[in-house]
C-alpha cells in the first residue's frame, strides 16, 4: 500500500481511489511478472505449461473456473432480477408465509452436491496421475539447503552430483548499496550457476528431501511443486514434451529463512541425445578430477625420482 493510502484524508472517496489505484498497480505488476515468464497462456492466467500434467492442471482449472462463472451468472442473475422486479417502489409486499420449504432445501442441497461431484471426479483423476511415479526413466535426488539445491543423479547418469546456487551476477547486485541496478541484470534472482539438466520426452522422477528446514521445489511450466522436508522423501514426476527443449525457471516455494528468495531453480531441458552427451562430459570431467586427486603431488614425484 502506498503512503497515499494511509494518509489522513477525510474523504472516503479519496481513500477508495488510492486503494484502488494501488490494487490496479499491483495487478499490472503481476501481469507483467506473469507475462515475463515463458509459456504463460495470456499473462493473467496460469501457464499452460510444457508437460501433460501441467496441461491437465490448466484444463481442470479452466473447467472449475467456467463452472464458477456459470454459478455466478445464475445466482447474481436471480438476485439482480428479484431486486429490480420486486422492489418496494413497485408495490412489492414481502411474502411472510413461506418460512420453511423442505422441497427448496432438498433442491439447494442436491444441486451443489452434484456440482461438487462433477468437479471432484476429474480432480481425483489428476491427483492419481500426479502420484503415479511408476516406470520413471530418470531419477534425481533433490536436496534443499538454506539456501541452495543439490541435484544427485541416479540411473544412467549415476554419480553426477552438484549444487545449484544463485548466479553471481544476481548475488552481487542484491547486496545492499551494491551500486548495480537490478534491472540491468538479466534474469535477476532467477538465474543459477549450474542448472538441473534433464532430457525431453523422458519421465523424470525427483526424490525431494531437505537437510535443514522445509523448502519446496516449484517449476510452474512443468506443473511441478512439492515440499522438500527433512527426514522425508517426497516424489514428483514430469515429462517435458519433445520439441519443448529450453530453459525453465522456478523458485523455492516454502518460506525457508532469510535468503528464501535467493534460491531459484533453473532447468535446462535438452534432447535425449544432447542429454546423453552432457552426461558423458560430466562423467569424463569427474574421472579427470578423480585421477588428478589420486595422482601424487609433483613434489612427491620429484622425491621419488
Ligand atoms: Cu527454500
Give 252 Cα–ligand 1 centroid separation in angstroms: 5
Does the pLDDT of residue 138 top 80, yes or no?
yes
Give 229 Cα–ligand 1 centroid separation in angstroms: 10
Q: In what order do the strands lie in the sheet with 234-238?
A: 161-164, 148-153, 138-145, 204-210, 234-238
The pLDDT of residue 156: 87
Full-prediction pTM beyond 0.85?
no
Give 209 Cα–ligand 1 centroid separation in angstroms: 11
* 3-class secondary-structure state, position 141: strand
The pairing of strands 215-219 and 148-153 is unpaired
Give 257 Cα–ligand 1 centroid separation in angstroms: 7
For residues 265 and 5, the model is more confident at: 265
Give the alpha-carbon dihedral of 95, 98, 103, 108, to 10 degrees: 60
* 3-class secondary-structure state, position 149: strand
146 in Cβ contact with 269 (< 8 Å): no
Find cell 531419477 and name the residue.
139
The pLDDT of residue 302: 56
Give 42 Cα–ligand 1 centroid separation in angstroms: 28
Q: How far apart are CA 198 and CA 274, in angstroms?
A: 10
Could you give the count of Cα atoms lying within 13 Å of 269 in the half-sphere of its Cβ? 22
Find cell 541425445 and name the residue.
273
Lowest mean pLDDT across 46-55, 66-75, 194-203: 46-55
Q: How far apart are CA 193 and CA 168, in angstroms?
A: 7
The pairing of strands 196-199 and 204-210 is unpaired
Triad 86, 91, 94: Cα angle to 5°: 60
Give 165 Cα–ligand 1 centroid separation in angstroms: 11
Lowest mean pLDDT across 49-58, 183-192, 243-252, 290-299: 290-299
Binned at pLDDT 50, 70 and 90, residue 195 comes out as: very high
**Long-range CB contact pairs, 68-77, < 8 A, 24+:** 71/115
For residues 246 and 42, the model is more confident at: 246
pLDDT, tens only, 11-37: 333 333 333 344 444 333 333 333 334
| Ion ligand 1: residue ranges with CB closer than 5 A | 215, 252, 256
Lowest mean pLDDT across 3-7, 237-241, 292-296: 3-7
> Cis peptide before 51, with omega less than 30 degrees from 0?
no
Give 22 Cα–ligand 1 centroid separation in angstroms: 29
Give 192 Cα–ligand 1 centroid separation in angstroms: 14
Amino acid at each position: 500500500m502506498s503512503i497515499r493510502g494511509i494518509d489522513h484524508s477525510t474523504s472516503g472517496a479519496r481513500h477508495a481511489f488510492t486503494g484502488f489505484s494501488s490494487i490496479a498497480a499491483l495487478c499490472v505488476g503481476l501481469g507483467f511478472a506473469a507475462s515475463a515468464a515463458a509459456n504463460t497462456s495470456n499473462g493473467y492466467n496460469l501457464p499452460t505449461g510444457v508437460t501433460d500434467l501441467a496441461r491437465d492442471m490448466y484444463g481442470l482449472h479452466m473447467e472449475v473456473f467456467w463452472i464458477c462463472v456459470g454459478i455466478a451468472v445464475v445466482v447474481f442473475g436471480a438476485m439482480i432480477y428479484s431486486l429490480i422486479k420486486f422492489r418496494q417502489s413497485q408495490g412489492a409486499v414481502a411474502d411472510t408465509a413461506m418460512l420453511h420449504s423442505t422441497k427448496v432445501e432438498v433442491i439447494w442441497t442436491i444441486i451443489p452436491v452434484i456440482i461438487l461431484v462433477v468437479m471432484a471426479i476429474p480432480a481425483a483423476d489428476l491427483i492419481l496421475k500426479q502420484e503415479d511415479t511408476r516406470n520413471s526413466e530418470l531419477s534425481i535426488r533433490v536436496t534443499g539447503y538454506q539456501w541452495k539445491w543439490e541435484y544427485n543423479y541416479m540411473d544412467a547418469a549415476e554419480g553426477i552430483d552438484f549444487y545449484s546456487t544463485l548466479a553471481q551476477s544476481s548475488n552481487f547486485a542484491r547486496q545492499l548499496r551494491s551500486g548495480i541496478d537490478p534491472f540491468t541484470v538479466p534474469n535477476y534472482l532467477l538465474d543459477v550457476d549450474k542448472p538441473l539438466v534433464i532430457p525431453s520426452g523422458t519421465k523424470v522422477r525427483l526424490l525431494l528431501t531437505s537437510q535443514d528446514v522445509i523448502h519446496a521445489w516449484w517449476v510452474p511450466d512443468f506443473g511441478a511443486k512439492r515440499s522438500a522436508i527433512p527426514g522425508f522423501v517426497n516424489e514428483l514426476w514430469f515429462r517435458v514434451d519433445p520439441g519443448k527443449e529450453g530453459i525453465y525457471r522456478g523458485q523455492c516455494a516454502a518460506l525457508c529463512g532469510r535468503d528464501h528468495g535467493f534460491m531459484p531453480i533453473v532447468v535446462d531441458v535438452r534432447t535425449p541425445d544432447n542429454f546423453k552427451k552432457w552426461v558423458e562430459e560430466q562423467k569424463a570431467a569427474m574421472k579427470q578430477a578423480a585421477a588428478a586427486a589420486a595422482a601424487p603431488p609433483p613434489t612427491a614425484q620429484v622425491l621419488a625420482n
